[in-house]
């Protein structure tokens, strides 16, 4: 089949993705460093070196030395967050491979390269998201809208550069969904292999990928119940899926190479049982991460997603559930009457993806850092929102109403472009316009301390006597921020933990629950401040001499 690259459809898609790519290229150097990045870089570096020694000789001295360090760290209780940990390191090993081959030495260059690589994963995910939507609606307009919803959602735009777990997992989940849908539609060796590989890559980023994987397998089983012959055929490929996927999981998870079965089971048990307590500001109160109220994920999704996405999602959710209820009422002996055709089947997949994930998180009661652990369901939320747009267009007879829908979408997307530009690079503090006047002192803002880098650079650029003693009264350590400074600036700063000795004190408003330093306005004056929607997210105080 010949593809017309000059067609209007392909041209618009090419233009959009070219612009997205350029935005990424011109933006990846603008972000600070999150509190998680150094750990992931160190863990990835360890396993990259371990993988090289293992491939050179599983019984070599270097390999045995690395395996001894792994065992010692596990014995000391550092299975999840100590280095080396049992956490999968797929993205981090790729990053270390390029860092070595490109001979990147400076810490600022290293982390900025990781930000670029992080964005490239997101960019690839957007490409697959376009294909999923286009295949579902056979419309590049819906595909373009869906991609823009995801790309322009401010928190996702910002975190696409530095969130090496949740955004990479979101991107790999999109790819996994694409191949999973192909697997459902046409189970064969090629689609089984692609689905297995993408499942392993997603799993080796976050084990929560099993939610999407088992929904795919469940839907395929339901579809197979139409006949015994179809059931036998599809069960064969499902049977192939599990061993192939496990092999790929082993390949991309170096921790389990030494003892694949036992280390796999131990690693999973550690990741599932990880129980660490931290406080999180939620609705004006500090709550423990393991005691989250049931509405925690729903509220966070509702207040940090663009209103246009939430509005059409509610429409789509209502129409989709109503259709399912009507089908269930009229169901006969044919088990697949709940959906008619592949498109309706895909709609049900995205609904199950959202409902099952939120139910599991509500049941477990996890609460920290907003809803980033649930980011991987955001593409499914957008898919339901697109269904809402599709259904309204299908049933609204007046052209005026249809025009109004697209006008509302264009205006909201334009607003998101403006907001992203105005508050760049602090889009991670986005709250939609319904809540932007209510989030201050009610919800966590810059919980990862990315804005600290900008404040430190400001202090350095506006002082001439070095080293400058700087401390923080917030949770995020300033040592991470120093990694993003130019080499010649690193010696200009002296981080102090005795805040009484600090010339400058930075706060990013994630307060410490213990030893919280109180700023005495008689001894300190406000020196510099970063605001988003007129709310301070980072403030620097200078000691009055």
pLDDT digits (tens, 9 = 90+) for 298-347: 999 999 999 999 999 999 999 999 998 888 877 665 545 677 788 999 99
Kindly give the pairing relationship between strand 468-472 and strand 504-507. parallel
Residue 313: inside a domain, yes or no? yes
Task: Count how many Cα atoms sit within 13 Å of the Cα of residue 98 in the half-sphere of its side chain.
Answer: 16
- Quote the domain boundaries for residue 474: 452-543
Residue 332: predicted pLDDT: 63
Distance CA 467, CA 167 (A): 37
Instruction: Please check whether residues 409 and 330 belong to one and the same domain.
Output: yes
Report pLDDT digits (tens) over 115-156.
999 999 999 999 999 999 999 999 999 999 999 999 999 999
- HEC secondary structure over 22-78: HHHHHHCCCCCCCCCHHHHHHHHHHHHHHHHHHHHCCCCHHHHHHHHHHHHHHHCCC
Instruction: Please check whether residues 380 and 510 belong to one and the same domain.
Output: no
Domain-ending residue, one of 444, 469, 492: 444
Query: What mean pLDDT is predicted for residues 345-351?
Result: 95
Domain-ending residue, one of 409, 444, 479: 444
User: CA of 424: how far to CAs of 23, 29, 35, 155, 316, in Å?
Assistant: 12, 12, 20, 11, 31
Instruction: Please check whether residues 420 and 319 belong to one and the same domain.
Output: yes
Range with lowest mean pLDDT among 271-275, 414-418, 425-429: 271-275
Residue 502: inside a domain, yes or no? yes
Place of tokens 């423990």: 288
Q: Which residues of 448-481 are buried (b: 16+ CB within 10 A; e: fewer)?
A: bbbbbbbbbbbbbeeeeeeebbbbbbbbbebebb
pTM of the model: 0.94
Distance CA 113, CA 111 (A): 5
pLDDT confidence tier of residue 3, bands split at 50, 70 and 90: very low
pLDDT at 6 over 70: no
Residue 328: inside a domain, yes or no? yes
Distance from CA of residue 362 to its chain's centroid? 19
Instruction: Please check whether residues 336 and 404 belong to one and the same domain.
Output: yes
Higher per-residue pLDDT: 476 or 129: 129
pLDDT at 34 over 80: yes
Distance CA 538, CA 545 (A): 22
Residue 310: inside a domain, yes or no? yes
Place of tokens 């260059």: 109
Residue 250: inside a domain, yes or no? no
Domain total in the chain: 2
Residue 488: inside a domain, yes or no? yes
Distance CA 497, CA 502 (A): 8
Report pLDDT digits (tens) over 41-81.
999 999 999 999 998 888 888 888 888 888 888 887 778 87
Report pLDDT digits (tens) over 430-459.
999 888 888 888 999 998 999 999 999 999
In the chain, the percentage of residues whose pLDDT exceeds 70 is 95
Which of 23, 40, 122, 26 minimizes the C-alpha distance to 83? 40
Report pLDDT digits (tens) over 477-501.
899 999 999 999 999 999 999 998 9
Instruction: Please check whether residues 521 and 433 belong to one and the same domain.
Output: no
Instruction: Please check whether residues 318 and 421 belong to one and the same domain.
Output: yes
Residue 365: predicted pLDDT: 67
Residue 195: inside a domain, yes or no? no
pLDDT at 515 over 80: no
Token pair belonging to 534: 């007129």
Instruction: Please check whether residues 457 and 411 belong to one and the same domain.
Output: no
Instruction: Please check whether residues 295 and 420 belong to one and the same domain.
Output: yes
Instruction: Please check whether residues 374 and 487 belong to one and the same domain.
Output: no
Instruction: Please check whether residues 415 and 332 belong to one and the same domain.
Output: yes
Token pair belonging to 448: 């990862």
Domain-ending residue, one of 388, 422, 444: 444
φ/ψ of 532, rounded to 5, equals -135, 125
Instruction: Please check whether residues 418 and 478 belong to one and the same domain.
Output: no
Residue 463: inside a domain, yes or no? yes
Instruction: Please check whether residues 347 and 394 belong to one and the same domain.
Output: yes
Instruction: Compute the mean pLDDT over every residue in the chain, rounded to the nearest whole number.
Output: 91
């Amino acid at each position: 089949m010949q593809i017309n690259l000059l067609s209007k459809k392909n041209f618009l898609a090419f233009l959009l993705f070219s612009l997205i790519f350029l935005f990424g290229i011109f933006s990846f150097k603008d972000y600070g460093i999150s509190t998680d990045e150094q750990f992931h870089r160190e863990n990835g570096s360890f396993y990259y070196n371990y993988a090289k020694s293992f491939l050179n000789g599983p019984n070599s001295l270097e390999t045995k030395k690395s395996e001894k360090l792994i065992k010692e760290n596990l014995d000391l209780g550092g299975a999840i967050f100590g280095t080396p940990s049992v956490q999968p390191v797929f993205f981090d090993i790729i990053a270390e491979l390029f860092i070595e081959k490109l001979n990147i030495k400076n810490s600022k260059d290293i982390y900025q390269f990781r930000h670029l690589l992080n964005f490239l994963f997101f960019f690839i995910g957007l490409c697959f998201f376009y294909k999923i939507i286009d295949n579902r609606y056979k419309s590049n307009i819906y595909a373009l809208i869906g991609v823009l919803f995801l790309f322009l959602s401010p928190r996702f735009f910002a975190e696409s550069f530095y969130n090496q777990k949740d955004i990479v997992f979101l991107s790999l989940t999109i790819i996994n969904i694409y191949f999973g849908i192909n697997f459902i539609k046409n189970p064969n060796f090629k689609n089984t292999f692609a689905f297995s590989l993408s499942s392993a890559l997603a799993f080796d980023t976050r084990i929560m990928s099993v939610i999407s994987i088992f929904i795919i397998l469940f839907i395929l089983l339901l579809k197979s119940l139409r006949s015994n012959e179809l059931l036998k055929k599809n069960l064969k490929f499902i049977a192939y899926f599990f061993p192939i996927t496990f092999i790929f999981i082993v390949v991309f998870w170096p921790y389990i190479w030494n003892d694949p079965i036992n280390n796999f089971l131990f690693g999973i048990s550690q990741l599932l049982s990880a129980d660490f307590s931290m406080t999180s500001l939620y609705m004006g109160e500090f709550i423990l991460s393991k005691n989250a109220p049931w509405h925690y994920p729903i509220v966070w999704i509702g207040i940090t997603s663009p209103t246009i996405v939430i509005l059409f999602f509610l429409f789509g959710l209502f129409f989709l559930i109503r259709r399912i209820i009507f089908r269930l009422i009229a169901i006969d002996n044919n088990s697949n009457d709940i959906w008619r055709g592949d498109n309706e089947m895909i709609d049900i997949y995205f609904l199950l993806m959202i409902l099952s994930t939120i139910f599991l998180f509500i049941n477990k009661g996890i609460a920290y850092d907003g809803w980033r652990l649930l980011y991987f369901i955001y593409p499914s939320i957008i898919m339901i929102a697109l269904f809402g747009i599709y259904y309204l267009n299908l049933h609204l007879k007046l052209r005026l109403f249809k025009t109004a829908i697209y006008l509302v979408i264009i205006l909201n997307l334009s607003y998101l472009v403006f907001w992203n530009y105005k508050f760049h690079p602090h889009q991670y503090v986005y709250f939609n316009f319904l809540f932007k006047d209510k989030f201050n002192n009610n919800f966590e803002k810059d919980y990862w301390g990315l804005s600290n880098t900008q404040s430190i650079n400001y202090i350095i650029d506006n002082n001439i006597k070095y080293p400058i003693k700087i401390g923080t009264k917030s949770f995020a350590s300033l040592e991470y921020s120093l990694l993003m400074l130019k080499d010649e600036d690193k010696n200009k700063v002296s981080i102090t933990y005795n805040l009484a000795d600090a010339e400058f004190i930075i706060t990013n408003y994630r307060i410490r629950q213990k030893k919280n330093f109180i700023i005495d306005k008689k001894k300190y004056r406000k020196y510099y401040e970063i605001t988003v929607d007129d709310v301070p997210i980072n403030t620097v105080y200078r000691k009055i001499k």
